[in-house]
Amino acid sequence: MNISIGSRQADDFRIMNFDHLMKIYENNYYLFKKVIATLSDSSSVSTIVFNNNVMQYEPITISKYTDIFKFYYKYKSPFYPGNSYSIKSHLVFTLYKDARLLEVKSLGQNKDFDENIDNKIRINLNIYFWLKSILMNNDIYQ
């Protein structure tokens, strides 16, 4: 009898986490839409500049309802002025236009279809804080 109570509470906890994850996806969607507001063409590789932050937008697949892309920093080379380089993250962004959600997965999660909700919350919450910090340091957001 104690086992059924424990498993029932665990199921309630998972439902709460799923709801929380969906709210993070929704918040990430709206934050990202503000970040790419200056982007003129979302179907090609583009560079976005926010004060001293240079961001690289790299689309993978663009469709009517879904955009799959990579988004990362572009750094200036201290050794060769005029040159820049990027450290591509192992994150894949999926923007669901019709549902107004932005999901972020690591390449491992995307390849193996990782169902661990804790990892999804951790990655997407980090992206939430990252997007928010980009906007907070931008004159447009203030």
User: pLDDT tens across 114-129, in order?
Assistant: 677 888 888 999 999 9
Instruction: Flag whether pLDDT at 94 surpasses 50.
Output: yes
Residue type, 100: R
Q: Number of helices and strands (H, E) in the chain?
A: 3, 6
Q: Determine phi and psi for 141, rounding to 5 degrees.
A: -70, -35
Q: Is 130 exposed, middle or buried (0-12, 13-18, 19+ CB in 10 A)?
A: middle
Q: Is 126 left (phi over 0), alpha (psi -120 to 50) or beta?
A: alpha
pLDDT for 141: 40
Lowest mean pLDDT segment, chosen from 46-60, 93-107, 116-130 = 46-60
Lowest mean pLDDT segment, chosen from 30-34, 38-42, 46-50, 115-119 = 38-42
Q: Determine phi and psi for 115, rounding to 5 degrees.
A: -100, 5
Q: Is 102 exposed, middle or buried (0-12, 13-18, 19+ CB in 10 A)?
A: buried
